[in-house]
Structure 1
Amino acid sequence: MRSSLRLFFILCTAILGVTANAADVKIHKAIEFAKPDNFPLTLDIYVPQTGKKSYPVLVIYHGGGWLLNNNSIMHDLANKIARDGDMVVANMNYRLLADQNNTVAINQIIEDVFGGLLWVKDHIAEYRGDPTRVAITGDSAGGHLTTMILTRGRQLESDGFAGPSLGFKPSYLPAGKTAEQVAQEDGLKVQAAVVSYGAFDLYKTAQGDFETPKNMFWKFANAEARGMFGNKITTKNNADYYKAVSPIYWVPVSSEYKLPPQFVHVGSLDKTTPPEAAQAYVDLLTAGKQPVEYKVYPGKNHAYLDNGCNWANSCFDKDAVEPVNDIIAFLRKTLKD
């Protein structure tokens, strides 16, 4: 009888788009926040059930080389931080390059990410999240998107990437506001960021094999290899396009703009987004007197924050324990009441 009632409860909550687990985290599934070019963009929101009126917020952007995965790959991380960190977690989706018949450009992905954060700030109070205490995080490609918010989140314009300054028009904008108004108000400002084995230089990446069939992610995505902006834009003729989406070229000095505290981390064995790349980003932050903490985890490879075990021989239950504890400690320190 108990098992029948439990099954009935699970079915009912799944139909309603809300789930609860044994650790008292309620999950609101597949909430649509924008629909660019008729493509639904959704997020899942994880809410602790510990009785507080308001919680700090973490927004997560998944990895996958801008070609693979969706936010489900971050479920274990989102659930653990909501439960153990006592935070509301927004686990985001965004378009991938292979979506919409393999026509999505990298700047559109960034616009989805910017829009998702703006939506969270507008609506997270409905889920007991505090919009004045928001942190962002992402791993691998998601780490790139996280640092794009930090370094290019004020380069917004209504013409989007077609404009003269190669700015961005978020896929979601607060009611009655233009992209320029959001930029003027610093609407994408956050209070902390965690950058997990991120990518920082797409100009250099595209000069390698990323836009060719040698990048197996195109095959895994069932898409023909092409340029990040389509085949008419190249690193040789349009370096400015690629640098506009590469955070490494846009790190401000603190006297010009103060970035929030960042925790940057990577595995010592990571060949996909190696420690050298993270170190170069951290060095720029340090030179600019921006607040940053940096950690290299000995013996860890790529993607240790993904669910389960993966192609990099990383397993969440084993390899994510120390990093997640460090992430929670960092967020508690920076988002304290």
Structure 2
Amino acid sequence: MPSHILPVTNPNLHSSKQHSYLRIDPTTMPLKQDDPITSTRLVSSPFEDETIISVRPLLSRTPSFAGTTTTSSSASYQQRRRRVASENSLSSLSDESIGQRQSLAREVDRAAPETFLLTRLGLKLLRYMGVGYRWIMRFLALGCYSLMLFPGFIQVGYYYFFSGRVLRSIVYGDQPRNRLDLYLPKNTDGPKPVVAFVTGGAWIIGYKAWGSLLGQQLSERDIMVACIDYRNYPQGTMSNMVEDASGGISFVCNKIAEYGGDPNRVYLMGQSAGGHIAACALVEQAIKEAGEGGSTTWSVLQIKTYFGLSGGYNLFNLVDYFHSRGLYRSIFLSIMEGEESLRRFSPEVIVQDPNLKKAVSLLPPIVLFHGTADYSIPADSSKSFAETLQSVGVRAESILYEGKTHTDLFLQDPMRGGNDRMFEDLVSIIHSDDREAQAKDEVAPPRRRLVPEFMLQLAHRVSPF
């Protein structure tokens, strides 16, 4: 008589996903009537792990294997098959709802490391700033400020984590934090202009997600945005930050066509410390291309315009100012690799060097935005840099916004909705050579308000920036 094969439960089934079988000779191993035999059957499932359904054994509980299969055994077998099929049907009916829950769980799992990183960066900033009375008061002011803008942060965060038009953490290099986020326009009718954006963060808490509001709103105007992340202090010093930013710009210049961007319409932009880092990367690249040494993977000629938002460009004028604001001189000089490196990382000083005229001539047009009520970095920083650039033959201008603080231009005004001057100025320059895009901008609906006006006014008053 041919031997039968019984499936036997494998205790490591969930981890190995392998079946174990025991071959039984019916002539030598009879089964008793009172021996409860159980087995498991693997039912296919669309999820990672198979579903395990307990079924009754296929063998009849008879004193021996002698004789033939009875009609009752056949009927019992058919009944078991119908039960398994029914369970499979019920499982398939719930696949969609379970799939949605698992998709949400995956997004939450991805958001958790991002939240942990942001918390760690905030604590790191406090550790370097110290815990004196001044910083305790500013920390409390920051808490109130964040609370006032919380409705907007929730909406922007939801878009960042759950929108299909945000490609997060694209790798652009082999160093830590060499990642960028890409914000894709809804319309895909042809290559789009691209803004390579370097976020701010006092060189200590910079993070690519800080640009999510700008990325979302520019993408609504058919402009692609790449928010470049970089190493912060103390993970890296200023030369590492410039190196990372340059690597991200290189990725945009060389790879953006694969994502629907136009490599012939690349714009570079930085905000606050990111504006300083991006300007340093731009000037350093121009010096390399002028034959002063160093290999290049992108060209300043690929950058149509550089936009600086609330940045500082002459460190000699800012060391003492930052010290009075709480970014102490010893920490700042550590970030900038010592006092002897202040010139190297001061674009306004570098462009005045008569030996670098060729490099300076390669620089693209430069537009500097700044609020006159900015107390984190004075508006004179942008005004002075623009005047210096003009004196050495670079097309440059500074656009000042009366009464605007360091965060008004970047957070409060965009969350207010409607039309704000800085955003419209930025878009008009990017679309200056595209009449079709200009026509769309004229009929574009006002941006949606994210935060009530009274909360924005309170945020403006309590802002520690």
Shorter-chain TM-score: what band?
Answer: 0.7 to 0.9
TM, length-normalised to structure 1:
0.72
Q: CA–CA distance in 1 between the matches of 2:435 and 2:334?
A: 39
Q: Give the direction of change, closer, same or farther, for the CA distance of 1:300–1:226 in structure 2 (3 Å limit).
A: closer
CA contact (8 A) 1:150 1:189 kept: no
Residue 156 of structure 1, CA deviation: 4.5
Q: Give the direction of change, closer, same or farther, for the CA distance of 1:6–1:199 in structure 2 (3 Å limit).
A: farther
Give 1:35's aligned amino acid. Answer: D
Specify the alignment match of 1:150 in structure 2.
Answer: 282
The one of 329, 343, 349 equivalent to 1:243 is: 343
Specify the alignment match of 1:176 in structure 2.
Answer: none
Q: Secondary structure at the match of 1:333?
A: coil
Residue 98 of structure 1, CA deviation: 2.7
CA contact (8 A) 1:264 1:282 kept: yes
The one of 309, 312, 319 equivalent to 1:206 is: 319
More helix by share: 2
Say whether 1:325 aligns with 2:457: no
Residue 205 of structure 1, CA deviation: 2.8
The one of 372, 375, 380 equivalent to 1:268 is: 372
Give 2:239's aligned amino acid. Answer: N
CA contact (8 A) 2:370 2:382 kept: yes
Specify the alignment match of 2:133 in structure 1.
Answer: none
Could you give the per-residue CA deviations for residues 222-266 of structure 1, whole angstroms, max 9, x where no partner exists? xx9463358xx532xx2xx21111111122668951422222111
Q: Secondary structure at the match of 1:191?
A: strand
Alignment of 1:201-240 (within 5 A): 201-206=314-319, 209-210=322-323, 214-215=326-327, 225=331, 227-228=333-334, 234-235=338-339, 238=340
Residue 276 of structure 1, CA deviation: 1.2
Say whether 1:55 aligns with 2:192: yes
Specify the alignment match of 1:171 in structure 2.
Answer: none
Q: Give the direction of change, closer, same or farther, for the CA distance of 1:20–1:75 in structure 2 (3 Å limit).
A: closer
Q: CA–CA distance in 1 between the matches of 2:173 and 2:435?
A: 31
CA contact (8 A) 1:197 1:278 kept: yes
CA contact (8 A) 1:153 1:188 kept: no
- Greater RCO, 1 or 2 (C-alpha within 8 Å, sep 6+): 1
Residue 181 of structure 1, CA deviation: 3.7
Specify the alignment match of 1:295 in structure 2.
Answer: 399
Residue 20 of structure 1, CA deviation: 7.6
Structure 1: state its 5+ residue gaps. 158-164, 168-178, 219-223, 308-313
The one of 107, 114, 138 equivalent to 2:270 is: 138
Residue 50 of structure 1, CA deviation: 0.9
Structure 2: state its 5+ residue gaps. 1-93, 111-157, 437-465
Say whether 1:121 aligns with 2:249: no
Q: Give the direction of change, closer, same or farther, for the CA distance of 1:49–1:321 in structure 2 (3 Å limit).
A: same
CA contact (8 A) 1:57 1:135 kept: yes
CA contact (8 A) 2:351 2:360 kept: no
Residue 202 of structure 1, CA deviation: 2.2
Could you give the per-residue CA deviations for residues 189-239 of structure 1, whole angstroms, max 9, x where no partner exists? 4111111111101233335555x99327x9xxxxx9463358xx532xx2x
Give 2:389's aligned amino acid. Answer: L
Q: Secondary structure at the match of 2:377?
A: coil
Q: Runs of at least 4 residues of structure 1 off by over 6 A?
A: 3-6
Q: Give the direction of change, closer, same or farther, for the CA distance of 1:186–1:73 in structure 2 (3 Å limit).
A: closer
CA contact (8 A) 1:143 1:195 kept: yes
Could you give the per-residue CA deviations for residues 247-300 of structure 1, whole angstroms, max 9, x where no partner exists? 111226689514222221111101221121111101112222322232111111
Q: Give the direction of change, closer, same or farther, for the CA distance of 1:327–1:234 in structure 2 (3 Å limit).
A: same
CA contact (8 A) 1:64 1:141 kept: yes
CA contact (8 A) 1:136 1:190 kept: yes
Q: Give the direction of change, closer, same or farther, for the CA distance of 1:20–1:257 in structure 2 (3 Å limit).
A: same
State the number of aligned residues.
Answer: 287
Q: CA–CA distance in 1 between the matches of 2:103 and 2:372?
A: 41
CA RMSD of superposed structures (Å): 3.7
Q: Give the direction of change, closer, same or farther, for the CA distance of 1:334–1:192 in structure 2 (3 Å limit).
A: farther
CA contact (8 A) 1:114 1:188 kept: no
Could you give the per-residue CA deviations for residues 164-200 of structure 1, whole angstroms, max 9, x where no partner exists? x9x9xxxxxxxxxxx83417x7367411111111110
CA contact (8 A) 2:311 2:382 kept: yes
Q: CA–CA distance in 2 between the matches of 1:251 and 1:110?
A: 17
Q: Give the direction of change, closer, same or farther, for the CA distance of 1:258–1:75 in structure 2 (3 Å limit).
A: same
Give 1:120's aligned amino acid. Answer: V
Specify the alignment match of 2:166 in structure 1.
Answer: 27
Q: Which has the larger radius of gyration?
A: 2
Residue 28 of structure 1, CA deviation: 0.7
Residue 16 of structure 1, CA deviation: 12
Residue 10 of structure 1, CA deviation: 6.5
Q: CA–CA distance in 2 between the matches of 1:249 and 1:47?
A: 37
